[in-house]
Amino acid sequence: MYPIISLSVTGLLTLFLGFSENKKIVFPASIAFLLIALATAFIDWNAPGFYFNDMLQVNNTSIVFWAILIISAILIMGFSEGFERFEFAQPAEYFAIVQFSLVGAIMMVSFKNLIMLFLGIEILSVAMYVLTGADKRNIRGNEAALKYFLMGAFATGILLFGMAMFYGATGTFNIGSGVFIGGDNSFFLWIGCTFMLIGMLFKVAAAPFHLWTPDVYEGAPTIFTAYMSTIVKTAGFVALFKVLSTTFSGLQDFWWIMIAVLVTLSLMIGNIGAVSQNSFKRLMAYSSISHAGFMLLALLGDHENALGSIMFYSVVYTLATISAFGVLMVVSKERIEKGRVYEQNDLFKGLAQNNGFLATVLIIAMLSLAGIPLTGGFWGKFFVFRDAASSGLFWVIIMAVLMSAIAIYYYFKPVLLSMSKKTSLESITINPLAKFIFAITTFGTIVLGIFPWILRSLF
């Protein structure tokens, strides 16, 4: 609960810092604020309880997720050092929005009441609409922002309709007790369940509600693409899990087959769509759709393991994604074409020769995303498959394994390009902070690949 308060206050403070003459202070201050929020998260450690009229539930599980979200935000924001150089940027405002959006994400992982879920989703989404359009002069950014906004608002409408129907059926917004089909209100409940799930599946980019993902990922500034694909996704999946494992656990027969079909669709569309992409960000967008499929797979298993699997998967996915987008940010700023940074795959041509460190980071990130053993990504997939196998969903697992094979093809495209002899780049400058972040993400990926249990055994 404390990080919500802390981030709200520090977000406002950050806005005021924007008035100061010295713009350089905003970045370190924001990182410090995020660290403070991280520290306050642990005040409630081992002190589970309910807050805000029982609308928010805090326990160690939710604190772990808070920490994951805040640390991811810190790692991503670390790449924005020197942001004030860009003319489009109003650093104070973006850092403030990032902090506010984290409030939303935190609410999404610890809600106990659908009102809180709605507020969390909206706080996070509205913030993301703004951040997507952060580059005001860039028409592609504008387009992405408008698409994201219109479709997001539409999905919100559907989500709300579902919540209203759920309320009509049960008379409560609390998700504490399970609900069951039967009686007069079962029709409302069915509609409510379906619409709520659709609204949330949109946020995590599961097919067929994924269509916004590639366009928005490509158009948004890279740093916010990274933010979107890690924090929004993690929060979204935890929220989905919370809803499915509590209130809707009695309706399992009803949503189970729907999710299974969506998993298959997401895996197919994500992996097959990524094959022909030349833009690295689009490739990552399709990959993110397929990873949504994998994480949904965990929801189909028994609930004992699912949360741990989702946690592990989101951590390894987050680490690899931050590495990948980080390398893209660092490298692409060296090559400006038509006034825009160049973000195609062949940007990485000859990276290994040019800068071995960045190439290593990129390669390990790609291996992890592809799920090659000795990286965290392998265990992420392993746990998810294990969960799914426990519920006997073998046809989906076979599909998933086939699609992982396809995934290797497109994840290896940047890897192979980076190995090639010819290079189109001159020397690349990396600031020390970025180097530090790369070290953390890459090391984390490897450590989790060798000792997955240090994280997986948390819960």
Partner 1 sequence: MENQLPAMPDVIAQVPLNNYVLLASILFIIGIAGVLIRRNAIIMLMSIELMLNAVNLLLVAFSSYRSDPNGQIFVFFIMAVAAAEVAVGLAIIVMIYRNIRSIDISLLDKLRG
Partner 2 sequence: MSLIALIPLFPLIGFLINGLGYKKIPKAIVAPVGIGAALLSFITTVLVYFQFKADGQTIIQPLFDWITVGGLNISFAFQIDQLSIIMLFIITGVGTLIHLYSKGYMSHDEGYGKFFAYLNLFLFSMLLLVMGANYLIMFIGWEGVGLCSYLLIGFWNKRSDFGDAARKAFIMNRVGDLGFLIGIFLIIRQFGTLEYLSVFEQAQGLEMGNISIMFITFCLFIGAMGKSAQIPLFTWLPDAMAGPTPVSALIHAATMVTSGIYMVVRSNVLYTLSPDTLEFIAWIGTLTALLAASIALFQNDIKKVLAYSTVSQLGYMFIGLGVMAYTSGFFHVITHAFFKALLFLGAGSVIHAMSDEQDISKMGGLWSKIKITAATFLIGTIAISGLPPFAGFFSKDEILAHVFEHNKAMWALAMVGSFMTAFYMFRLFFLTFTGKFRGTKEQEDHLHESPSSMTIPLIVLAGLSIVGGFIGFPEIFHLPHALADFLSPLYDGSRAVNPEFGLVHLSHSTEWMLMGFSVLLAAVALGVAWFIYVKKETQPADPSQLGGIKKVLADKYYLDEAYQIAFVKPVEKASQFFYSTIDKKAIDRVVEGTGDLTSLLNRLSTKLQTGSTGFYILVMSIAVAAILILNMGTEIADQFFSIFNAQTK
Toward partner 2, which CB reaches closer, 199 or 326? Answer: 199
Tell whether residue 20 is a contact of partner 2 (CB under 8 A). no
Task: Look at residue 139 and give the partner it binds from partner 2, partner 1, none, a contact being a CB closer than 5 to 8 Å depending on partner kind.
Answer: partner 1
**Is residue 177 classed as helix, strand or coil in its secondary structure?**
coil
275 CB-side CA count, 13 A: 11
Among 375, 369, 367, residue whose Cα is nearest residue 418 = 367
Q: How far is the CB of 454 from partner 2 (least distance, A)?
A: 8
Task: Look at residue 316 and give the partner it binds from partner 1, partner 2, none, a contact being a CB closer than 5 to 8 Å depending on partner kind.
Answer: none
CB atoms within 10 A of CB 5: 12
Toward partner 1, which CB reaches closer, 4 or 448? Answer: 4
Tell whether residue 280 is a contact of partner 2 (CB under 8 A). no
Q: How far is the CB of 80 from partner 1 (least distance, A)?
A: 21
**Is residue 336 classed as helix, strand or coil in its secondary structure?**
strand
DSSP code, position 111: B
Among 213, 417, 395, 448, residue whose Cα is nearest residue 328 = 417
Toward partner 2, which CB reaches closer, 57 or 264? Answer: 264
DSSP code, position 134: -
Toward partner 2, which CB reaches closer, 71 or 258? Answer: 258
Cα(162)–Cα(52) distance, integer angstroms: 23
Helical (H) or strand (E) element with 350:
none
Query: Which residues, including other chains, have CB under 8 Å from residue 264's CB and lie 6 or more apart?
Result: 293, 396, 399
Task: Look at residue 119 and give the partner it binds from partner 1, partner 2, none, a contact being a CB closer than 5 to 8 Å depending on partner kind.
Answer: partner 1
Q: How far is the CB of 339 from partner 1 (least distance, A)?
A: 14
Q: What is the dihedral sign for C-alpha 284, 285, 291, 293?
A: negative
Toward partner 2, which CB reaches closer, 186 or 423? Answer: 186
Tell whether residue 254 is a contact of partner 2 (CB under 8 A). yes
Q: Which stretch binds partner 2 (CB under 8 A): 31-39, 97-105, 186-194, 241-249?
A: 186-194
The single residue among 103, 117, 239, 268 that binds partner 2, judged by CB under 8 A, is 268
Helix axes 303-332, 60-77, angle to 10 degrees: 10
User: Rounded to the nearest 5°, which phi and psi values hold at 207?
Assistant: -65, 150
The single residue among 9, 151, 164, 341 that binds partner 2, judged by CB under 8 A, is 151
Q: Which residues pair with 113 in a beta bridge?
A: 174
Helix axes 139-170, 114-132, angle to 10 degrees: 170
**Is residue 291 classed as helix, strand or coil in its secondary structure?**
helix
Q: How far is the CB of 341 from partner 2 (least distance, A)?
A: 21
Binding site for partner 1 (CB under 8 A): 53, 114-115, 118-119, 122, 126, 129-130, 133, 136-137, 139-140, 142-147, 149-150, 153-154, 156-158, 160-161, 163-165, 167-168, 171-173, 188, 214-215, 218-219, 277, 282
Tell whether residue 191 is a contact of partner 2 (CB under 8 A). yes
Toward partner 1, which CB reaches closer, 139 or 401? Answer: 139
Q: How far is the CB of 268 from partner 2 (least distance, A)?
A: 7
Contact 164, 193 (CB under 8 A): no
Cα(399)–Cα(56) distance, integer angstroms: 38
Task: Look at residue 140 and give the partner it binds from partner 1, partner 2, none, a contact being a CB closer than 5 to 8 Å depending on partner kind.
Answer: partner 1
Cα(283)–Cα(415) distance, integer angstroms: 13
DSSP code, position 325: H
Q: How far is the CB of 341 from partner 1 (least distance, A)?
A: 16
**Is the previous residue joined to 3 through a cis bond, with omega within 30 degrees of 0?**
no
Task: Look at residue 167 and give the partner it binds from partner 1, partner 2, none, a contact being a CB closer than 5 to 8 Å depending on partner kind.
Answer: partner 1
Q: How far is CA 143 from CA 133, 135, 280, 378, in A?
A: 8, 11, 19, 36
Cα(42)–Cα(40) distance, integer angstroms: 5
Task: Look at residue 129 and give the partner it binds from partner 2, partner 1, none, a contact being a CB closer than 5 to 8 Å depending on partner kind.
Answer: partner 1
Cα(249)–Cα(246) distance, integer angstroms: 5
Q: How far is the CB of 44 from partner 1 (least distance, A)?
A: 23
| Mask for 393-422, x = binds partner 2 (CB under 8 A) | -------------x--x-------------
Task: Look at residue 386 and give the partner it binds from partner 2, partner 1, none, a contact being a CB closer than 5 to 8 Å depending on partner kind.
Answer: partner 2
Tell whether residue 150 is a contact of partner 2 (CB under 8 A). yes
250 CB-side CA count, 13 A: 12
Residue count, binding to partner 2 (CB under 8 A) = 34
The single residue among 42, 51, 190, 342 that binds partner 2, judged by CB under 8 A, is 190
Contact 198, 209 (CB under 8 A): yes
The single residue among 5, 451, 458, 459 that binds partner 2, judged by CB under 8 A, is 451
The single residue among 81, 122, 215, 346 that binds partner 2, judged by CB under 8 A, is 215
Cα(365)–Cα(51) distance, integer angstroms: 39
> What are the residues binding partner 2 (CB under 8 A)?
146-147, 150-151, 154-155, 158, 187, 190-191, 194-195, 198, 202, 208-209, 211-212, 214-215, 254, 258, 268-269, 272-273, 275-276, 386, 406, 409, 451, 453, 457
